[in-house]
A = this chain, B = another copy of it.
Amino acid sequence: MKLGLLFNITAAERQQLAALPDLEVLDLPTANTDPKSWLDVDIIYGWDAFGDQLLQLPNNHLKWIQSISAGIDYMPLAAIKQQDILLTNTSGIHAEPIAEFVLGYLLAFARGILASTQAQGQHRWVSDQLRGQVFNLSHNTIAIFGTGHIGTRIAHYCHSFGMTTIGFNTAGHATPEFDATFASGANPPALQSAKFIVNTLPLTAKTEAFFDQAFFDQLTGHPLFINVGRGPSVDTAALQAALTQQQLAGAVLDVLPDEPLAPDSPLWDQPNLWISPHISGGFADYGAAAFAILFKNLQAYLADGQLTMNQVDLDKGY
């Protein structure tokens, strides 16, 4: 069995792979590597343009791709499905960092930290102004779109701060850590009056531009909106209008339809919009956590051709 690397691994991880029986490892391709030299590769770890080229070769041997991300919307899903290739993601390892990231923005917004950081740049002591604005998270409601690993962890931390949590998923099924759940598209009063709204949904045909003018129009709680899902789930122009018209108190975008955001984008200077550069899921040991999923799946796959975790449903797209 041949494993081709499209994501770098450590020396210790190479030794772990070397100890597996019947596995040959092909290192990262260089600019000169011909995709045809990878025709007999069975498994790929990671993904990039080289993978796209290999997939297009008619007689490739690909059987399984282990991505290094949770969302796999950037991959050629139609071709992967057509060629009967298995696809696994790293869903799960982002829950803790993204949930900490979201709670950080909730608190930084509510407790005046974002406003203080901006005022500091202007050498302004805005005590009287901020003391009348800052508030506590406790007793406020957060609406979370997506009740998977990430949404559930966010809800868990929100409960620690005495918040009410409502969740939205495909069918509205009940989920631990949520005080109430609804089907996506429902418009309950608790959503309308929520103080915080967070998107954690994967990008699919159903979620593209889900957060549009009609969505923002229904909100009366003057909430902070946070997107840690995928950029195209938000209609950026509608979001800007909602900010300008004070339908939203603010917005945080960690993901954008086009990344990196161009230096001359007007979004950088949009009042009450905070932009972070797609870092919510990152953490220092990310590579180790992703490799652990590859390795566990690899052991099972080499033994009996089965994958034990994180297989993507190619019809659903997550």
Contacts and interface: CB of A to CB of B under 8 A. Distances in A.
Interface of A: 96-97, 100-101, 103-105, 107-108, 110-114, 116-121, 123-127, 130-138, 157, 160-161, 259-261, 263-265, 268, 274-280, 282-284, 286
A131 B104 CA distance: 16
Contact of A277 (B108, B127, B276): B127
A156 to B, nearest CB: 8
B282 A130 contact: yes
A161 B268 CA distance: 31
Interface centre among A103, A111, A124 (most CB of B within 10 A): A111
Contacts of A157: 160-161
A315 B282 CA distance: 50
* Number of chain copies forming the complex: 2
A13 B43 CA distance: 72
27 contacts: A96-B136, A97-B136, A100-B107, A100-B136, A100-B161, A101-B107, A101-B111, A103-B107, A104-B104, A104-B111, A105-B108, A105-B113, A108-B113, A112-B276, A112-B279, A112-B282, A113-B114, A113-B276, A117-B117, A117-B118, A120-B275, A123-B265, A127-B260, A130-B276, A131-B286, A136-B283, A157-B160
Nearest to A110: B100
A279 B127 contact: yes
A138 B277 contact: no
A70 to B, nearest CB: 15
A163 to B, nearest CB: 11
Given A260-B125, A274-B120, A111 B160 contact: no
Contact of A97 (B134, B259, B277, B282): B134
Contacts of A260: 125, 127
Given A100-B137, A100-B138, A134-B279, 12 more contacts: A97-B136, A101-B111, A104-B104, A111-B280, A112-B276, A114-B117, A116-B274, A121-B121, A123-B268, A130-B279, A134-B283, A135-B283
A93 B131 CA distance: 15
Contacts of A104: 104, 107-108, 110-111, 113
A46 to B, nearest CB: 15
A263 B123 contact: yes
A277 B117 contact: no
B111 A97 contact: yes
Contacts of A282: 112, 130-131, 134
Contacts of A284: 132-135
A130 B114 CA distance: 18
A160 B161 CA distance: 9
Contacts of A279: 111-112, 116, 127, 130-131, 134
A263 B112 CA distance: 19
A96 to B, nearest CB: 6
Contact of A259 (B125, B131, B161): B125
A139 to B, nearest CB: 10
The 7 closest A-B pairs by CB, nearest first: A104-B107, A125-B260, A116-B276, A127-B277, A160-B160, A131-B282, A101-B111
